Amino acid sequence: MIPCLNSVFGRLCPPPGALGILSATEPKPLTSTVVRDDESKLVSAAKAGDISAFEELVNRYERKIFRLGMNITQNREDAEDVMQEAFLKSYTNLDRFQGDSRFYTWLVRIAVNEALMKLRKRRPNQVSLDEPLTDGEDPVFREIVDWGPSPEKKFAQTELNTILNGVISELDPIFRVAFLLRDVEGVSTEETAHILGISEAAVKSRLLRARLKLRQKLNKYFRRSETQ
């Protein structure tokens, strides 16, 4: 059973001013006063010491951050570390969050940095955020094939997941991260640029190359068969 932070911290961390009213023998759940569907209000409340507001942010984004960690590192243990560090660091540094971006964007930025550090530790000489040297090949017109209307239906879900994980893991990390943020997590170009510390033009360039490379890698699985 997962510990319920809300109920636990209803006892441990009463709101400012309430200290001394609650006692260990009289546990009362902390009821946050903020509206739950507004991220900036949750962040403000969390900054003011409302633990349940921070818990709400965790519940809202934990799956997305874990998925992002999995997709970047391709490793479950690393993804777990990435997720934990992202939430712990965001909590510890919440006072430094100025609100000039969405909290989610800030959280993703922390998670991406953690994930890239994991990759660098695993392959210290292979992971760089600089543009890799071109291989001299034009990835676009080398192979042009028709996939048919619903190519993904050729595969069972598990098999499809294996294919997608396989092709994305072959991408250079800088292209992979751009693609994951924009096309999987739905982060805007502007926010992706902010997260990666690059220009919007650079995001678009990386995204184009990522999309074209993935398309090319998927050709062999999705090409229309003669019976289609």
Partner 1 sequence: MNCKKVILQLTSYLDGVLDSNMRADLEQHLSRCTDCRLVVDTTRKTIQIFCNSEPVPLPEDVRKRLHTALLERFRRNAKTT
Q: Is 12 in the site for partner 1 (CB under 8 A)?
A: yes
Nearest 10 degrees: Cα torsion 127, 128, 133, 134: 70
112 sits near partner 1 (criterion: CB under 8 A): no
Name the residue nearer to partner 1 (CB basis): 3 or 124: 3
Helix 51-73 to helix 103-122 angle (10° resolution) is 40
Q: Give the other-Cβ count within 10 Å of 144's Cβ.
A: 8
Cβ contacts of 147 within 8 Å, gap of 6 or more: 218, 219, 222, 223, 224
* Candidate ranges 30-38, 111-119, 123-131, 139-147; the one touching partner 1 (CB under 8 A): 139-147
Q: Is residue 177 at the binding interface for partner 1, with CB under 8 A as the rule?
A: no
Which parts of 205-224 interact with partner 1 (CB under 8 A)?
Answer: 207-208, 211-212, 214-215, 218-219, 222
Binding test (CB under 8 A) with partner 1, winner from 33, 123, 128, 152? 152
* x-or-dash string of contact with partner 1, 20-39, rule CB under 8 A: --------------------
Q: What's the token pair of residue 5?
A: 């932070």
Q: How far apart are CA 105 and CA 189, in angstroms?
A: 12
Binding site for partner 1 (CB under 8 A): 2-3, 5, 8-9, 12-13, 49, 51, 55, 58, 62-63, 66-67, 70-71, 76, 80, 83-84, 87-88, 91-92, 140-141, 144-147, 151-152, 157, 160-161, 164, 168, 179, 183-184, 189, 204, 207-208, 211-212, 214-215, 218-219, 222
